Each structure stands twice: as C-alpha cells, then as structure tokens.
A and B are shown apart, each in its own frame.
Chain A
Amino acid sequence: MKRTTIVGITDESLIHPPEIFAELSARQRLAEASLLKQQNHFIQSNCPACAAAKREFAFARSGFSFQSCQVCQTLYMSPRPTANMLHEYYEQSDYGRFIQSADHETALAPFRKDQARKQADKLIPLLQKSDHRENGILLLAPKHTMLAEVLAADAITPVHSKPAPWHDDVDPQGDRKYAIAAAFDIFERLPDPGTAIAKVYQQLSTNGHLILSVRSGSGYDLLTLWQHSDLKPAEHMNLFTVEGMSLLMERAGFSVGELSTPGHLDLQIVKRIRAQKHLKLDRFTEYFLNNRNDFASEQFQGFLQKSLLSSHMLAVGVKN
C-alpha cells in the first residue's frame, strides 16, 4: 500500500476564485432549492460504500439529510435525488449553465491546467506499464476536460464516458475494455456508486487500474466543521471515509493499491468558514488557529495528509 501527500500548499483562491465564488454560491443555492422542492420523490439509500443499512442521522444541510454509516462511518445523503433530478440540477438550472460558461472556465483555468498536468503525470506512467496499454484510458468526466487536452498533447487519446456524472452507465462503447479508468471528483456525485464501480470493473482489462479522487468524509475540515462545512449537498451526496472507500473498491472486486488524502485545503477552509460564520470550534482548533502561524498550518496539513485525515481522497484499485 502506498500513500501520497503534497508538499506546498495550493491557495484556496485558485480553486474558489473570489471574483466568481459569491455568484456561483448564490446560483447554486437556488438550484438546490429547486431540487428540494421535489424531495417527496427522493429515494432512500443504504450506505453507498459498504451497502450497510445501519445508520444514524448526522446532520441536515440546506434541507438535505445526511446519515452516518454505522459500519464504515461514510457520510451520505438519504433520501436523495434521482438521476433525472440531478440532470436538471447540472444541465438545466441557471447554476448548471453558469458552471459551463466561459466566465467560469476562464476563472478556473489556471488551477485546472495545473491540476490536469498533475493528473496526467499520474495516469501516463500507469498506462505505460500496463500490459494492455493499447486499450487506453476511460475518462469518466462530466464533459470535455482539460485533462483530455493534456493527455492528447502527449499522444494519448482517452475515451470519455457519457457526458454526465450522475448517470451510472459509464461506457460509451459497449464491450470495449480499458487499461485504466479515471474518475476525478465524480463518485461523490453519483446516485449509485456501487453500481457505477461494478460497471467500471467490468470494463477494465485484467490488472487494469481505476484511479479516482473524491471529497472525503473522514477529512479534518468536515469532521471539525460538520454541519457548518462548505458542502454542496447535491454534489457531495457520498462522502466516503477512507475505510468506506476501501470497502467500496473491494466489494466491486478491486484490490486497493493506494489510499491517500493529499488535500491542501483543510486548514484554509476551517479558517475561512470559522471567520465567515463566527464559529467557536473545539478547544484545540481554537488554540491552534489563534496562536500558530502559517508554517505550523502547513506542517499540520502535512500531518493530516500523511495520516489519511485530509478532505480530498485519492484511491487506486487494481482489477484482480
């Protein structure tokens, strides 16, 4: 097993550009409200990681209920919207159109370009050492991405999934097998991750790799802020703990090759939301934030990464 950490902090403003963040949040809240009007038609869900039914209520956020799995502690929304409702949220709402707009793309371009290069640097060595490298990469992505452009520049042409992350039907080309499947920031949004990962497993070659990243349910910022965290409920329906992610992969038949939490933002997010919402947090966090400098924050973030306690998770599964 290996674990990855990142040395050198990314500023949150690159990921949440302040010039559009407020507008984005306002539109997103309207889309959520529209979704919530249909809550009588939401569906109940067991734990998306381990399928256990035993759970306890965790918190409500913007009217959406989150449960905590009593087996793997994964946090998940239940009841939850259907795929059709999510389609409306992502594609037809004002918010959905905004996140696909040129303004939004431009504001995020510097971060996305850097992120795509790093993702490509992870995928290419995996592909090159594959016995089935000619089978290429299945890129599970909501639409055309910067990552696809970077890979294409390196003469690697990935194959996209259907252009919507909320559909569990991931393959556009039937029986084709792939050397690698990549799903960056997708599985937390899927209405049925268990079904999706089983389909990905079927579509990989023997010894094929699934590499995915998700918002983690066992990260410091979420565990500290809990109901005050900056969740977007409809986009973070499945908040896997590292233990839950391991179970999800193993249930689908994968052996886990890597579980890491290389997130950069826990401390920055806690600081921002604490200030915005005038929160008084636990004694340790308050003391730390009041009395320690940025260097200590960076060291603490490094500790969280190494101890699998950061809020962004990277997992690699190998098809047996």
Chain B
Amino acid sequence: MPTCHTTPASSAFSRSRLPLRAAIIGMGKVGKTRARVLTARDDVVFVAAADIDPSKCADFPDIRVETDHHALVSAPDIDVVFVATTNKFAPDIVCAALEHGKHVFCEKPPGRTIADIERIMAAERANPHLKLQFGFNHRFHYAVMEARNMVDSGIYGKVLWARGVYGKMGGADFEQIWRNDPEEAGGGILLDQGIHMLDLFCYFLGGDFNDIQSFVQTMHWKISLEDNAFALLRTPTQQVAMLHSSATQWRHKFSLELCLEDGYINLEGILSSTRSYGEEILVHARKNMTANTGLCPAPQEEKIFFDDDHSWELEVAAFLEAVKTDTPVSSGTSDDALRAMRLVFGIYAARR
C-alpha cells in the first residue's frame, strides 16, 4: 500500500501571483473538459498536462506535455493540479501534489478504497494552507442548486425521504473499459456513477446514514464488478434514502425525488454534453389535502426547465475562488468525499 508523506510542504504558490498556473494529470474525456473550462477563464492559465498518451493533448498545442505526472506535480511554476486519472492512480498523485505545495482538484471517486481517501486527508491535514476539492459537479447543476435553495428555505419543511435512480446503458465497449477493471477502478457502477447520487443524498438529507441494506449484483455484463446496486439507507433521525445505480438502464436516466413534510421536489433528467439523460427539470408542488378532484387530489405542479449546464464551470470557479481568497472549500470537500466513499463501501459490505 503506497503511503503519503505528511510533512508540510512549502507552497510554491504566492497568493499575489495571478493568473494561477494549472496543470492537468490525465487528459481523457474528463481531463479535456476541465481543460476547456480552464482555457475560458482569465484568472488561470492552463500551462501543462500529463498523460501516458501525449496525443490526447493535441487540442492544446500551447501547453507543456509530459508522459510522467511526477514532472508536473513537482514543477515550481505550477500552482494548481487537476487530477483526472483512473481511480488507481488518483490518490498517489493527489498526495504527491499536496506534498509539493500544489492546490489540488481531483475527480471523483477519490480512489478505490476508504483507505485511499483517508490517506489523502492525512496529506491535506499536513498542508492546511492548500485547497483540496473533489469533483462532485452534480451539486453545481442549476436544478440541484434550485432544489437546495427550496429545501434550505423551509417552504416545504423537512426532508422525509429521497429516492434516486441513476443509470446508464454501458455501451458497446463497456466490458473492456478501465471503469470495469477491478485493478484500475476498485468498484463498478456504484463507485463510478452511483456515488454522485449518494453525494446528493448527503447534500439534501444532511445526516450520515448508519443503517444500510443492499443488493449489489452483476446482472448482465460480463464483468467482475457490479452492474447494478440497490440500496436502502437510513439516518439516525429516521430519514430514508433509496438508491438504484445501474449500468443496464437501456435509456439513460437520472431521477431524484425528495419528499418533504409539506410538498415534494423531483429532479427529472440532468443535462450532459450528449443530452442523453434528457432535459433538466425540477418539478415541485405543495401537498394538497383538499379533495377537489376526487379521493386523490393531484396538486398543481410547477415544472422548471433549465436550458444550460454550467456545472463544470461553476465547480472550477468555486475551487479557484477558494484558492485565490484563501477561504475554505465549500463543496466537494474531503469530508464530502469520505462520506460518499463510506456509503459506497457500506453498500458493498451490506450486500445480501
């Protein structure tokens, strides 16, 4: 098991140096998305990237390209490092970057095990002057933010329960991709995609779930990791969340229902680059106990359509703001990541 050094690093970053200089480790699909976000900003310059396949950096001809990330995490002219590698490599890179005084943004999940995030947190504690954020970008979708505002405002009272479905169909090469290689990924669809829904459960229900029941199965694909996970989670205050995370959802689906004391808030669909999860819609209504339409009164619902997805931009903006102003990371903290990982592995452990 690799370990992180926990010696505080002397930061190469001077807060007076703007724009910041950023490097991205891992230039796959997500790394390129981060790169496009960075190049659109004027407070940060995307100066370097590392990938074992340098041709993946071809869209960014003005940057320095390395095939070994070590050259970048130790480079004195880099202030912030974005880690978008496979789960296997992310923890070591995050720890090394922190050790060398870099602020770090790491995609979810924060590794393959709870031990991975715990040792990242040890490195974070040893370098309290550095910022560390994890990529739970769903919190920055407009529908999610609007729902959070509604919940926080108290107009519908406390959240009683949540029901989340997050599923994708896999794809023609699903059995070959690294995400289904236990060595590279550490977990299947639950760790890869279901973790977003678990993070949202924590985001909306607030509490830690201490009672978990689950089925975790490989139902269809010829892979050794799970392609479906069903879980029931309960907090000490008796709030319940129900999850179905699936890689056999033949039409992509994102659905999060929140039942509150005086109404409900449903998130239907979520905008993505391919629009394959449909439109991003928030449906909400106040409960209607007046029987004006028979025995089962249907409340009049308000449906809000969100036409844009700026979640990647807003998430990076929040991280860079924390770096520039030396204020705490507000979303996607290591505590958030640890809580989500504990749920993932709690569900694995509770499987029947």
A and B: real partners?
yes
* Nearest opposing residue in chain B for A3, CB measure: B305
**What is the minimal beta-carbon distance from B296 to any residue of chain A, in angstroms?**
13
A1 to B307, CA, bound (A): 6
Main secondary structure of the interface of B (DSSP, over half): mixed
Q: Knowing A1-B308, A7-B283, A8-B298, say if A125 contacts B152 (CB, 8 Å).
A: yes
* Nearest opposing residue in chain A for B298, CB measure: A8
A6 part of interface (Cβ distance < 8 Å): yes
User: Do B303 and A6 touch (CB < 8 A)?
Assistant: yes
A4 part of interface (Cβ distance < 8 Å): yes
User: Do B152 and A129 touch (CB < 8 A)?
Assistant: yes
B153 part of interface (Cβ distance < 8 Å): yes
User: Do A10 and B300 touch (CB < 8 A)?
Assistant: yes
A274 part of interface (Cβ distance < 8 Å): no
B278 part of interface (Cβ distance < 8 Å): no
User: Do A6 and B302 touch (CB < 8 A)?
Assistant: yes
B63 part of interface (Cβ distance < 8 Å): no
User: Do A121 and B300 touch (CB < 8 A)?
Assistant: no
A117 part of interface (Cβ distance < 8 Å): yes
Which residues B5-62 have CB closer than 8 A to chain A? Answer: none
User: Do A2 and B302 touch (CB < 8 A)?
Assistant: no
B261 part of interface (Cβ distance < 8 Å): no
**What is the minimal beta-carbon distance from A279 to any residue of chain B, in angstroms?**
30
User: Do A2 and B306 touch (CB < 8 A)?
Assistant: yes
Which residues B277-312 have CB closer than 8 A to chain A? Answer: 283, 286, 298-308
User: Do B286 and A121 touch (CB < 8 A)?
Assistant: yes
Q: Knowing A1-B308, A2-B307, A121-B286, say if A128 contacts B299 (CB, 8 Å).
A: no
* Nearest opposing residue in chain A for B300, CB measure: A8
A162 part of interface (Cβ distance < 8 Å): no
Contact with A along B266-285 (1 / 0, CB 8 A): 00000000000000000100
Contact with B along A191-211 (1 / 0, CB 8 A): 000000000000000000000
* Nearest opposing residue in chain A for B305, CB measure: A3
B349 part of interface (Cβ distance < 8 Å): no
* Nearest opposing residue in chain B for A5, CB measure: B303
A262 part of interface (Cβ distance < 8 Å): yes
A125 to B305, CA, bound (A): 17
Q: Which of A5, A118, A124 contacts B305 (CB 8 A)?
A: A5
A125 to B153, CA, bound (A): 5
Contact with A along B316-328 (1 / 0, CB 8 A): 0000000000000
User: Do B149 and A4 touch (CB < 8 A)?
Assistant: no
A257 to B149, CA, bound (A): 15
Name the B residues within 8 Å of A124 (CB-CB): 153-155
Which residues A109-156 have CB closer than 8 A to chain B? Answer: 117-118, 120-121, 124-129
* Nearest opposing residue in chain A for B149, CB measure: A125
Name the B residues within 8 Å of A3 (CB-CB): 304-305, 307
A5 to B306, CA, bound (A): 12
Q: Which of B149, B155, B302 contacts A129 (CB 8 A)?
A: B149
Name the B residues within 8 Å of A1 (CB-CB): 307-308
A1 to B306, CA, bound (A): 6
Name the B residues within 8 Å of A125 (CB-CB): 146, 149-150, 152-153, 155
- 14 A-B pairs whose Cβ atoms sit less than 8 Å apart in the complex: A2-B304, A4-B305, A7-B283, A120-B155, A121-B286, A124-B153, A124-B154, A124-B155, A125-B155, A127-B153, A128-B149, A129-B149, A129-B152, A129-B153
Instruction: List 3 A-B pairs, minimum CB-CB distance, nearest first.
Output: A8-B300, A125-B153, A7-B301
- Chain A residues at the B interface, C-beta cutoff of 8 Å: 1-8, 10, 117-118, 120-121, 124-129, 262, 306
- Chain B residues at the A interface, C-beta cutoff of 8 Å: 142, 146, 149-150, 152-155, 283, 286, 298-308
